[in-house]
Structure 1
Amino acid sequence: MRRPVLALLIACAGLGASQGHAAAPAADRVTIDLTAGRPANRIDPAAALGAGLDGMGRGEVAPLYTAHNVARMRQGGLKPITYRLRTELGIEAWHWNPRGSWSDGAHSQGYWTSSDQPGAPIRLSHGYALPRRGDSVDNANNSGFSRLDDGDPESFWKSNPYLDPRYTGAPALAEWAKFDLGAAGPVSAARIRWGTPWAIAYRVQHWIGVDEYDPVGRWVDFPGGVVTDGHGGEALLRFEKPIEARFIRILMTKSSGTAPAGSTDVRDGLGYAIREVGFGTIDAAGRFVDRVRHARSGRGQTYAQVSSTDPWHRAIDQDRDLEQPGIDLVYASGLTNGRPMMVPVGVLYDTPENGAALIRYLRNKGHPVTQVELGEEPDGQYVDAESYGALYLAFAKALGAIDPALVFGGPSLQSGIADTWLDEDPDHSWTRRLMRYLRQRGEIGRLGFFSYERYPFDDLCGDIEDKLREQTTLNAALFRRFADDEIPRDIPWVISEYGFSAYSGRAMAQMPSALLNADIVGQFLALGGDAAYLFGYGPNVPVNQHLACAGYGNMMLWQADPKGQARWPMPAYWAARMMTRDWAAPGGGAHEVWPATGSALDAKGRPLVTAYALRRPDGRWAVMLLNRDKTHARRIALDLLTD
């Protein structure tokens, strides 16, 4: 039975209506479906509609956290805050408190633990680059390089000692280093200069597959590339015959367990260390001809990637070009609205001791926190899901011992669909493998919430209207993928960041950004999601990061003036206000989310108008309508479908 909607509030935005085109001649129908007898979801908008605060560049934190900017940001109505950890993307350790101690205090180096004791308010913090880094590229400023092929015989990569069984309580996982030589070519020898500790058992392998994502690709040992009694030092392996290879892997399965002379820290002897590698051929004169490019530049060297990295570093490794807002600054700013903030702890490039100190500090200061996100974008760092899972559990146990009421979650996937590469495991789903690992350990219960980032498009070139319509199709497919990935449904699902794209473009500064943000949030909540955090909360300026065809734009509620102060509200700001003040009840409270569908479809069967229905605490209906037809304004007739 269909009946008209009474006591109705309508929040709407669209492409066509804003451009003065003629209205469609007949009314489209939007139906709110009540036949299930229960809502699709229940939310409190004061907890479900939030924003993220990220790390920034040199000198950018102080201008952002002014009273003027904070007031403008809060006008968007977004209440909960998640703190984003840019250091974890940049292969850096986070000194969340500038005060603290080194494991090797005499030399201001080693493993850092920030002080958990309250002192002067923490207004600014920094990351510290890891000098034992193995990856050529990172996902922050991308200014570092791998020590595996930097040409320096004194530097070295070392794997993460916290993956040792004494910390994980589980059998050791294999460690690896992968290399992309750029093109297939002959390889008949490998030169590995081992550091300390070295691998006793290891394999040098090449990839056989159509490309690095081939689902039936596999790693194959070079003939003569299997070593079971390694002794460290420089190893020159001569293979039985040349092999055409582009991708090469060193797979390490047994460590010497030795530490450098004079070491007193057990972590120094855990894992593996390599100073330099080379792959190539032996010429007629018996000389090694290296195909690896050695350079102190991620762009100049042969691309290298590793399974893990030792978080050991020095005081001189401070990255002043990467600023994180101080914990006390954020809590005191008013942006948290007195609510618990989702707090991050780095796991790939930090230590459980430093994370535990952060939890104690928050308790000592009285800063409210209930959810702790462990790691950020481990899939984008290409670490194995099992390695992240082992670290996740080690950190969750260490931090949970301090405050059993805390809820831990992650992994803040870089992309909802996270597939592995150069991987011979028949299951290429990174997420499903993480869930499988946690279940095999009997620890799936320690995953208190699941988080991922939602940037549906790699670029903002081409037909933006088509992208807007495609987003909802992609998001529905993403939820089907999540079901296949066996993510528990009895825990909260969180979008830890959302926006048009990870790369800037003109559409971010125009009406499409408002429509896309509202569509992402509305559909996510209608599908059962729990909280979504907008990325781009602070004022910013238009830039072009990626492709000229995308134009200039940015994720931002406000465009900034030359002094970094919020001046011009952007379409994303009005979308936030629409969701928090017109769609949801401004005071929050228990809202019901009911399924709603529109009748008008495009040639591909995609809705021209999307609809998201809330039943507010006072019993009134509020429907958010988004017109994705740039050629027509639409007339809408609303119905309730009942038994």
Structure 2
Amino acid sequence: MTARLRRLRSLAPCFALALAAGAAGAAPLTVQVDLTPAGARGRLRPDVALGAGIDGAQRGEIDRLFTARNIAAMRSLGLRPATYRLRTELGVEAWHWTEQGTWSDAVHAQGYWTGSDRLGPPIRLSWGYQLPRRGDTLDNANNTGWSRLTDGDLATFWKSNPYLDRRFTHDARPHPQWIELRLDAPAAIDAVQIAWADPYATAYEVQYWTGQDDYDDEGRWRTFPRGAVRAGRGGTETRRLAAQPIRVQYLRILMTAASRTAPAGSTDIRDRLGYAVREVGFGVLGADGAFHDRLRHAASHGGQSVTHVSSTDPWHRALDRDPDLEQVGVDRFFTSGITNGLPAMIPVGVLSDTPDDAAALVGYLKRRGYPLARIELGEEPDGQYGEPADYGALYLETAAAIRRVDRRTPLGGPSMQSAATELPLVEAARKSWNGGFIGYLKARGRLAALQFFSFEHYPFDDICGDIHARLVAEDPLLASMLARLAKEGVPRAIPWVISEYGFSAFSGQAMVELPSALLQADIVGHFLSAGGRAAYMFGYGPNVPINQHLPCAGYGNMTPFLADAQGQAGAPLPVFFASRLLSRTWLQPGHGLHRLYATQVLGQSGPAWVVAYAVRRPDGRLAVLILNRSGREPASVRLAIKGAAARRGPAEVWRYGPAQYRWLADGPRGHPVRDLPPQHSRVRAIGKLVLPPDSLTVVVQSLRR
């Protein structure tokens, strides 16, 4: 905490605020807001703190989204700063942010791509390029790709990322690479068959997992009795691993030394760095010496046994463009109005791209003169379940390349898919992905290279069952995540950013009902009150109800508007009204300094249905955001103020709840049947307030000395 911040807090007026709440006829609650210096909880500026993100999309969706009507609708939410989300990184694809650039093998239009930073016609659309040396069966984007390790084709191969070689990392720490495979069910295994490509492993171990499942804290990787190889020679080999078969489900090949050989005719050093494998099989050797494979081999993620790798070579070809994974062109993003002319947080690829291409993108944006708030390195690397030290090494390489063209814009990330991601198939002491990442930067003496920390917050895997109980559970969940990050060594002196937030990564009806407004307000209020710098809402554009995961979740989507048949913004949904209440009522629009203060809800027994967040606005008024998260019971509340004596002036009250909104569930045809803006009233003095169930209330109170 700076001395200047301490002085600002010491000047805060000493007031107190109390709210009496409870079901009609029940004993009132007290929500106490502490405006004394001891109650100060941080500062914010709305045009920095409240934002929204634009994600990658499928074929044709970018043009449907970026229309004048949709952009005007999105801007009307009042969430002014924007962040660009990088879907290609989730899909194991390279991002060609421009189609102008150079291939390392220009003759064959293949190799390692570097976009051109020269200015030309505005870039309106960009695409992902599938990585043909892919080793993962599954991904977190369109999930249509597959592993080349179990595709049944010896002409294809997986290769690890050459940028993890010490030639690029300048790291004394080794970066072993691995292949993990999952059988459909436990089976007896005593042999492995590996068809190596170049470069092959000269030292490796073939291992099995001892745990009952992939997250078993007691699990360990054990090397098969005959699974340690110290003088590998490449080619295709079938190796007996044990005298007797061992019943296992999870298998691994851990590679620790490479041949540094390359295919005939290669002239690129990157071709000889890392490891490459054409096909893998696990099974048993019969009495006749024949190998009986237990893996499924197919060129589809649904037909093959699930394979996962530590990293993937970003090498690709012009013919690998994926027309079904679009990203908005960077010029279109900055000139469409979606950024409101404010500095934006933009990403660069890390896991599936090269440091040189990342630097070229930043150089291009600087040449255009676009204002940059932050540069986020990669997106959801923890969701790839690779080694955090590998991402750390690539992070530092990418940061060094960017600093050659931009010495000032803050660099950070890693935009974790969750602040609490735990790695599967590792021993308990290594399960925390973030702990491994921060530990790597510290070991390198490079923690200062992380200038902001970002993570995504989707608190629930599914949104079935008691949604209102989940709303209450979100508070301690977020608090525990923030405490965990601090314990793992994320510096508190750098900005913490929620790069995406919403109910769940999967759709459901709660996203188009009143709980969506309550969750949004609670995440924003809680995070900013805890010292967070900015929170970006995910699901900015109009959309339609879908169900993509569990039937019990119903149909819905993260969106502020119901889309019409042409994808244009139609009926506003609760997130729209919640966003406007947060950005235009609870906070005073603009760049003015707001101060947050501690609140307590006293008198609640049982679930903490009522929660409140208070802010002193630049106009001197106190704004209190109050949520009643009960789906059944109203709450009776009375305002009060804690601190030195002050006279309260007139107040304004906004209420949004069941009287304003109701959703008709009708599968993909669901729609609002009541869709009104918040109720607004002015009062000479605040007495008892009644908060309807499922409601969001904002009280703006004038204070007079």
TM over 0.5: yes
Checking the alignment, whether the CA contact within 8 Å between 1:600 and 1:608 is kept in structure 2 is no
Inter-partner Cα distance in structure 2 for 1:239 and 1:77: 62
SS state of the match for residue 298, structure 1? coil
Residue by residue over 1:38-74, the C-alpha shift from the partner in whole angstroms, topping out at 9 and shown as x without a partner, is 6211110110000000001101101111111110100
Question: 1:588 aligned to 2:591?
Answer: yes
SS state of the match for residue 574, structure 1? helix
Q: CA deviation at 1:429?
A: 1.2
Inter-partner Cα distance in structure 1 for 2:461 and 2:354: 33
1:189 is aligned with what amino acid?
Answer: A
Inter-partner Cα distance in structure 2 for 1:594 and 1:281: 66
Partner of 1:96: 97
Change (3 A) 1:408 1:240: same
Of 434-443 and 466-475, the range deviating more from structure 2: 466-475
Residue by residue over 1:433-456, the C-alpha shift from the partner in whole angstroms, topping out at 9 and shown as x without a partner, is 111110000000000111111001
Question: 1:540 aligned to 2:504?
Answer: no
Checking the alignment, whether the CA contact within 8 Å between 2:150 and 2:305 is kept in structure 1 is yes
SS state of the match for residue 506, structure 2? coil
2:356 is aligned with what amino acid?
Answer: E
Checking the alignment, whether the CA contact within 8 Å between 2:29 and 2:604 is kept in structure 1 is no
Question: 1:294 aligned to 2:294?
Answer: no
1:70 is aligned with what amino acid?
Answer: I
Inter-partner Cα distance in structure 1 for 2:35 and 2:87: 43
Change (3 A) 1:4 1:288: closer
Partner of 1:82: 83
Partner of 1:52: 53
Inter-partner Cα distance in structure 1 for 2:551 and 2:573: 22
Residue by residue over 1:283-315, the C-alpha shift from the partner in whole angstroms, topping out at 9 and shown as x without a partner, is 122210000110111121111000000000011
Inter-partner Cα distance in structure 2 for 1:261 and 1:587: 61
Q: How do residues 180-199 of structure 1 correspond to structure 2 at under 5 angstroms?
A: 180-199=182-201
Change (3 A) 1:163 1:3: closer
Partner of 1:248: 251
SS state of the match for residue 187, structure 2? strand
Inter-partner Cα distance in structure 2 for 1:319 and 1:184: 36
1:574 is aligned with what amino acid?
Answer: F
Partner of 1:512: 515
Inter-partner Cα distance in structure 1 for 2:542 and 2:152: 42
Q: How do residues 386-401 of structure 1 correspond to structure 2 at under 5 angstroms?
A: 386-401=389-404
Q: CA deviation at 1:601?
A: 2.8
Checking the alignment, whether the CA contact within 8 Å between 1:216 and 1:426 is kept in structure 2 is no
Inter-partner Cα distance in structure 2 for 1:230 and 1:338: 58
Partner of 1:494: 497
Inter-partner Cα distance in structure 1 for 2:242 and 2:584: 71
Inter-partner Cα distance in structure 1 for 2:345 and 2:169: 25
Checking the alignment, whether the CA contact within 8 Å between 2:88 and 2:141 is kept in structure 1 is yes
Partner of 2:458: 455
Q: How do residues 416-435 of structure 1 correspond to structure 2 at under 5 angstroms?
A: 416-424=419-427, 426-435=429-438
Question: 1:211 aligned to 2:213?
Answer: yes
Partner of 2:108: 107
Partner of 1:355: 358
1:211 is aligned with what amino acid?
Answer: D
Inter-partner Cα distance in structure 1 for 2:409 and 2:391: 20
Q: How do residues 105-184 of structure 1 correspond to structure 2 at under 5 angstroms?
A: 105-171=106-172, 172-184=174-186
Percent of pairs identical after alignment? Answer: 54
Residue by residue over 1:1-28, the C-alpha shift from the partner in whole angstroms, topping out at 9 and shown as x without a partner, is 996659xxx9xxx9x9xxxxx7354432
Inter-partner Cα distance in structure 2 for 1:508 and 1:432: 32
Q: CA deviation at 1:519?
A: 0.3
SS state of the match for residue 612, structure 1? strand
Partner of 2:203: 201
Aligned alpha-carbon RMSD (Å): 1.7
Q: How do residues 303-382 of structure 1 correspond to structure 2 at under 5 angstroms?
A: 303-382=306-385
SS state of the match for residue 239, structure 2? strand
Inter-partner Cα distance in structure 1 for 2:268 and 2:15: 73
1:225 is aligned with what amino acid?
Answer: G
2:40 is aligned with what amino acid?
Answer: P
Q: CA deviation at 1:588?
A: 3.4
Q: CA deviation at 1:562?
A: 0.3
Q: CA deviation at 1:370?
A: 3.2
Partner of 2:229: 227
1:268 to 268, 271, 295: 271
Residue by residue over 1:391-418, the C-alpha shift from the partner in whole angstroms, topping out at 9 and shown as x without a partner, is 0011011101211102111111111111
Of 205-214 and 462-471, the range deviating more from structure 2: 205-214
Inter-partner Cα distance in structure 2 for 1:346 and 1:195: 27
Partner of 2:387: 384
Checking the alignment, whether the CA contact within 8 Å between 2:297 and 2:304 is kept in structure 1 is yes
Q: CA deviation at 1:148?
A: 0.5
SS state of the match for residue 380, structure 1? helix
Checking the alignment, whether the CA contact within 8 Å between 1:595 and 1:612 is kept in structure 2 is yes
Checking the alignment, whether the CA contact within 8 Å between 1:4 and 1:638 is kept in structure 2 is no
Inter-partner Cα distance in structure 2 for 1:345 and 1:395: 9
Inter-partner Cα distance in structure 2 for 1:46 and 1:199: 52
Inter-partner Cα distance in structure 2 for 1:213 and 1:276: 26
2:183 is aligned with what amino acid?
Answer: L
Checking the alignment, whether the CA contact within 8 Å between 1:307 and 1:384 is kept in structure 2 is yes
SS state of the match for residue 51, structure 1? strand
Q: CA deviation at 1:602?
A: 4.8
Contiguous gaps of at least 5 residues in structure 1: 17-21
Inter-partner Cα distance in structure 2 for 1:425 and 1:442: 25
Residue by residue over 1:120-156, the C-alpha shift from the partner in whole angstroms, topping out at 9 and shown as x without a partner, is 1100000000000000000000000000010000100
2:74 is aligned with what amino acid?
Answer: M
Q: CA deviation at 1:640?
A: 3.0
1:585 is aligned with what amino acid?
Answer: Q
Inter-partner Cα distance in structure 1 for 2:430 and 2:144: 33
SS state of the match for residue 205, structure 1? strand
Inter-partner Cα distance in structure 2 for 1:586 and 1:98: 39
Greater relative contact order (CA < 8 Å, ≥ 6 in sequence): 1
2:225 is aligned with what amino acid?
Answer: P
Residue by residue over 1:569-608, the C-alpha shift from the partner in whole angstroms, topping out at 9 and shown as x without a partner, is 11000000000001000223100011112125352xx421
Checking the alignment, whether the CA contact within 8 Å between 2:17 and 2:34 is kept in structure 1 is no
Partner of 1:19: none
